[in-house]
Structures are given as C-alpha cells and as structure tokens.
C-alpha cells in the first residue's frame, strides 16, 4: 500500500473505508476487498470490524455467495458477528426467496450461532 514506504500503518477503520470503497465501484471489486481483508489479518489487527464491513457490503452489492462464504469463514475463525450483520444477511436470504427450511436455514442457523 502507499503508506508502506513511509513506515506508516493504516488504522483498522481505514481498512473498513477501503473495503467499502472497493465494493462501491461498478462493478464491485470483491477481489480487492478480500485482498484488503487479508492484509488486515496479516498485520495482526482486529479483523472483526473489517470482516463485518466485508460481509455487509458484499451482501448489499448482490454478491450473496461471496458474502455467505465470508460470513462462514469469519464465524469459524471466531469473529464476533453483531446483530446488524446477521439481520442483514438473514433478511436477504428471505428476500432472495431462499428455502429457509433447507439451505437458507442452515446459513441462518450458522450465522446466529
């Protein structure tokens, strides 16, 4: 990143803003968003806020499968999903017409655990 040469480090909030920006392009740049998230983990910063941003913005931009994959990965890594992220994703599953008794329910249940 641009700051590396000067020895400056980005704050966790900076990564959230960069992830948001990457996913607000048209089309959304999910590859860049995931690369930024990986950078957060490599720098041993708290990944939870960036992960929440990644999940919610992927979902909001219609990248449902990528969002569900990111959510599952974070859940397994022990990241704390707040109620807002879970609510957005569960609501989206319903709006998408997912079978909440089948596949969608398993995603919802996993997110809520």
Alpha-carbon distance of 89 to 75, in angstroms, equals: 13
Indicate whether 90 belongs to any domain.
yes
Residue 61 or residue 93, greater confidence: 61
Indicate whether 107 belongs to any domain.
yes
Indicate whether 6 belongs to any domain.
no
Indicate whether 22 belongs to any domain.
yes
Q: Structural domain tally of the chain?
A: 1
Q: What is the pTM of this model?
A: 0.77
Indicate whether 5 belongs to any domain.
no
Give the pLDDT confidence score for residue 1 in this predicted structure. Answer: 45
Q: Are 96 and 66 in contact (CB under 8 A)?
A: no
The three state secondary structure string of 23-87 is HCCCCCCHHHHHHHHHHHHHCCCCCHHHHHHHHHHHHHCCCHHHHHHHHHHHHHHCCCCCHHHHH
Split at pLDDT 50, 70, 90, the class of 93 is: confident
Residue-range definition of the domain harbouring residue 77 = 13-112
Indicate whether 63 belongs to any domain.
yes
Indicate whether 88 belongs to any domain.
yes
Q: What would the pLDDT profile of 14-69 be if each residue is shown by its tens digit? A: 999 999 999 999 999 999 999 999 999 999 889 999 999 999 999 989 998 899 88
């Amino acid at each position: 990143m641009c700051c590396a040469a000067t020895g400056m480090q980005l704050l966790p909030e900076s990564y959230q803003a960069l992830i948001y920006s990457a996913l607000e392009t048209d089309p959304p740049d999910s590859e860049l968003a995931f690369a930024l998230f990986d950078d957060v983990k490599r720098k041993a910063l708290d990944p939870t806020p960036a992960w929440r941003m990644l999940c919610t913005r992927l979902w909001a931009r219609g990248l449902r499968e990528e969002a569900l994959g990111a959510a599952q990965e974070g859940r397994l890594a022990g990241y704390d999903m707040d109620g807002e992220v879970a609510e957005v994703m569960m609501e989206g599953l319903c709006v998408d017409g997912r079978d909440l008794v089948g596949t969608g329910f398993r995603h919802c249940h996993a997110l809520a655990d």
